[in-house]
Amino acid sequence: MRRVRHTVPNVLLAHVALAAYTVIALFPIFIIIINSFKTRKAIFRDPLALPGPENFSLVGFETVFRQGDFFLYMQNSLIVTVASLFFILLFGAMAGFALAEYRFKGNTLMALYLAIGIMIPIRLGTISILEIMVATNLVNTLTALVLVYIAQGLPLAIFILSEFMRQVSDDLKNAGRIDGLSEYRIFFVLVLPLVRPALATVAVFNMIPIWNDLWFPLILAPGEATKTLTLGSQVFIGQFVTDWNAVLSALSMAMFPVLVLYLIFSKQLIRGITSGAVK
Amino acid sequence: MGSLGLKNIHMSFGTNEVLKDINLEVEDGEFVIFVGPSGCGKSTLLRIIAGLEDPVRGDVEISGQLVNAMPASKRKIAMVFQTYALYPHLTVEKNMSLGLRQAGAASSYIERQISLAVEMLELEPYLKRKPAELSGGQRQRVAIGRAIVRNPDLFLFDEPLSNLDAALRVNMRIEIARLHRELKSTVIYVTHDQIEAMTLAQKIVVLRDGRIEQVGSPMKLYKDPDNMFVAGFLGSPAMNFIEAGHLGVGGKAATVGVRPEQLTPSRRGRVSGTVSHLEHLGAETNIFVNTDGGLITVRQFGEASLDIGARIGLDFRDEDMLFFDSNGQRLR
B99 in contact with A, Cβ within 8 Å:
yes
Question: Is the pLDDT score of A276 beyond 60?
Answer: no
Rounded Cα–Cα distance for residues B319 and B312 (Å): 22
Q: How many Å apart are CA B321 and CA B249, to the nearest integer? A: 11
Q: Does B88 touch chain A (CB under 8 A)?
A: yes
Contact A126, A215 (CB under 8 A): yes
CB-count exposure of residue B184 (10 Å: 0-12, 13-18, 19+):
exposed
pLDDT digits 0-9 by tens, A182-200: 999 999 999 998 888 889 8
Q: Are residues A46 and A111 in the same domain?
A: no
State whether A104 and A171 are in the same domain.
Answer: yes
Concatenated DSSP letters of B162-225: TTS-HHHHHHHHHHHHHHHHHH--EEEEEES-HHHHHHH-SEEEEEETTEEEEEE-HHHHHHS-
Mean pLDDT of chain A: 88
Closest CA to B289 of B305, B308, B304: B308
| Chain A residues closer than 8 Å to B103 by CB | 180
CA distance B101 to B107: 8
Whole-angstrom distance, CA of residue B51 vs CA of residue A180:
12
Q: Do A175 and B87 touch (CB under 8 A)?
A: yes
Q: What is the pLDDT of residue B268?
A: 77
CA distance A183 to chain B (A): 12
Q: Do A265 and A198 contact (CB within 8 A), yes or no?
A: no
Last residue of a domain, one of A33, A57, A81: A57
Q: Nearest C-alpha of chain A: how many angstroms from B23?
A: 24
Distance CA B314, CA B269 (A): 4
Rg over alpha carbons for chain A, rounded to the nearest Å, is 23
As a whole-number percent, the residues of chain A with pLDDT over 70 amount to 94
CA distance B173 to B194: 13
Q: B87: which chain A residues are within 8 Å (Cβ-Cβ)?
A: 172, 175-176, 189-190
A172 with B77: Cβ contact below 8 A: no
Q: How many separate domains does chain A show? A: 2
- Tell me: do A219 and A270 sit in the same domain: yes
Residues of chain B within CATH 3.40.50.300 domain(s) are 4-230
In chain B, which residues have their Cβ closer than 8 Å to the Cβ of A189?
87, 89
The per-residue pLDDT of chain B, averaged, comes to: 92
Same domain for A74 and A41, yes or no, is: no
The pTM (predicted TM-score) of the whole model is 0.81
Nearest to B20 by CA among B3, B47, B41, B46: B41
Q: Which CATH architecture fits B4-230? A: 3-Layer(aba) Sandwich (3.40)
| Residues of chain B neighbouring A108 (CB-CB closer than 8 A) | none
B139 contact A CB<8A:
no
Query: Would you place residue A274 in the very low, low, confident or very high pLDDT band (cuts 50, 70, 90)?
Result: low
Q: What are the chain B neighbours of A193 within 8 Å (beta carbons)? A: 88-89
Per-residue pLDDT reduced to its tens digit, B255-265: 999 999 999 98
Cα distance between residue B43 and residue B39, in whole Å: 9
Q: What is the spatial distance between Cα A202 and Cα A87, in angstroms, rounded to a whole number?
A: 12
Same domain, A163 and A239: yes
Please report whether residue A247 resides in a domain.
yes
One-letter-per-residue 3-state SS of A181-198: CCHHHHHHHHHHHHHHHH
Order of strands across the sheet that contains B57-62: B16-26, B4-13, B57-62, B65-66
pLDDT per residue as tens digits for the range A14-54: 999 999 999 999 999 899 999 888 888 888 888 888 888 88
For residue A12, which phi and psi values (nearest 5 degrees)?
Answer: -60, -45
Query: A178–B99: do the CB atoms touch at under 8 Å?
Result: yes
The reply to whether A18 and A71 lie within a common domain is no
- Residue-wise pLDDT for A120-170, tens only, equals 999 999 999 999 999 999 999 999 999 999 999 999 999 999 999 998 889
d(CA B32, CA B100): 26
* A267 found inside a domain: yes
CATH 2.40.50.140 placement within chain B: 237-331
The ipTM value here is: 0.86
Coil, helix or strand at residue A215: helix
Distances (CA, A) of A8 to A21, A22, B152: 20, 21, 61
CB contact under 8 A, A178 and B50: yes
Q: Which of A262, A207, A253, A235 is nearest to A83 (CA)?
A: A207
Give the least confident one: A206-220, A251-265, B168-182: A251-265
Measured from the Cβ of residue A150, the count of other Cβ atoms closer than 10 Å reads 21
Give pLDDT, residue A60: 85
Q: What is the pLDDT along chain B (332 residues), one digit of tens a residue?
A: 689 999 999 999 888 999 999 999 999 999 999 999 998 999 999 999 999 999 999 999 999 999 999 999 999 999 999 999 999 989 999 999 999 999 999 999 999 999 999 999 999 999 999 999 999 889 999 999 999 999 999 999 999 999 889 889 999 999 999 999 999 999 999 999 999 999 999 999 999 999 999 999 999 999 999 999 999 999 989 999 998 888 877 778 899 999 999 999 888 788 889 999 999 998 999 999 999 888 999 999 988 888 899 999 999 998 999 999 999 999 98
pLDDT for the residue numbered A4: 61
A145 and A80 part of one domain: yes
**Minimal C-alpha gap between B52 and chain A (Å):** 7
Does one domain contain both A69 and A50? no
Give B83's contacts in chain A (Cβ within 8 Å). Answer: 169, 171-172
Asked if B56 has any chain A CB less than 8 Å from its own CB, the reply is no
Do B81 and A190 make contact, defined as CB atoms within 8 angstroms?
A: no
Contact call for residues A253 and A233 (beta carbons, < 8 A) = no
- pLDDT given for residue B115 in this prediction: 94
Decide if A174 and B83 are in contact by the 8 Å CB cutoff: no
The CATH homologous superfamily to which domain B237-331 belongs is Nucleic acid-binding proteins (2.40.50.140)
Question: Would you state the pLDDT for residue B236?
Answer: 87
Contact of B87 with chain A, judged by CB distance below 8 Å, is answered with yes
CA-CA distance, B96 to B150, in Å (whole number)?
8
Are A117 and A222 found together in one domain? yes
Segments forming the whole domain that contains residue A87: 63-274
Residues in chain A: 279
Which of B83, B90, B153, B156 would best serve as a mutation to test chain A binding (most A beta carbons within 10 A)? B83
Residues of A engaging B, defined by a Cβ cutoff of 8 Å? 103, 169, 171-172, 174-181, 189-190, 193-194
pLDDT band for position A279 (cuts 50, 70, 90): very low
Residue A119: give its domain's CATH number: 1.10.3720.10
* B residues 9-48 lying closer than 8 A (beta carbon) to A: 13, 47
In a domain, A279, yes or no: no
**Subunit contact B98:A179, Cβ cutoff 8 A:** yes
Task: Check: CB of residue A251 under 8 Å from CB of residue A32.
Answer: yes
pLDDT of residue A277: 43
